[in-house]
Amino acid sequence: MGLFSFIRDAGAKLLGADEEKEMQATQAAGPDPAEVRRKIDQKRGLALLRTIQDLGLEVEDLQVSIQGDGAHVRGKVADQATREKVILVVGNTRGIAQVEDDIEVDAAEPEAVFYTVESGDTLWKIAKEHYGEGGKYMLIFEANKPMLQDPDKIYPGQVLRIPPLPAA
């Protein structure tokens, strides 16, 4: 259980153009700003639930609530890797600066390190930094699937899982 920080303006957009226009129209209509914010946050939370499910991440009793630039995630997962991936899916979303997690893990395992990608980074460079050998970049790529689909497509501000090296 913890609180994780992310770069608010980096990451995937949650709402499509049509949904954003709908929200802007709702705001322009002049209803209570707090009610508009609540509706936007609720819609963003539902979009994150769908994204986590679409990625095939299995979470029992998954709940995602958004309030402004913060997210709170609850549920139960089989392993540490799934917990970390859920946190990253939520945190690597444009507009989210913090993720508080209350995700229970069935099997205790060592935690991965979270690394924020900087301009000029490649998975090879990150692997060299963390493992001493750039050729181990596929460990990082595999640890971040299904969020990453190509080892050459990372972006500044994105947070990645750097798992511990497997025991030799």
Q: State which amino acid sits at residue 2.
A: G
Q: What is the CATH number of the domain that holds 149?
A: 3.10.350.10
Is the pLDDT at 6 greater than 90? The verdict is: no
**99 and 122 inside one domain:** no
**117 and 93 inside one domain:** no
**69 and 133 inside one domain:** no
Rg, C-alpha atoms of the chain: 17
| 94 found inside a domain | yes
| 168 found inside a domain | no
Structural domain for 147, as ranges = 113-162
- DSSP codes, 21-42: HHHHHHHHT---HHHHHHHHHH
| 167 found inside a domain | no
Is the pLDDT at 10 greater than 80? The verdict is: no
Reading the block at residue 112, the tokens are 């991965």
| 38 found inside a domain | yes
Name the band, by pLDDT with cuts 50, 70 and 90, for residue 21.
low
| Percent of the chain residues topping a pLDDT of 70 | 87
Is the pLDDT at 38 greater than 80? The verdict is: yes
pLDDT per residue as tens digits for the range 154-163: 999 999 999 9
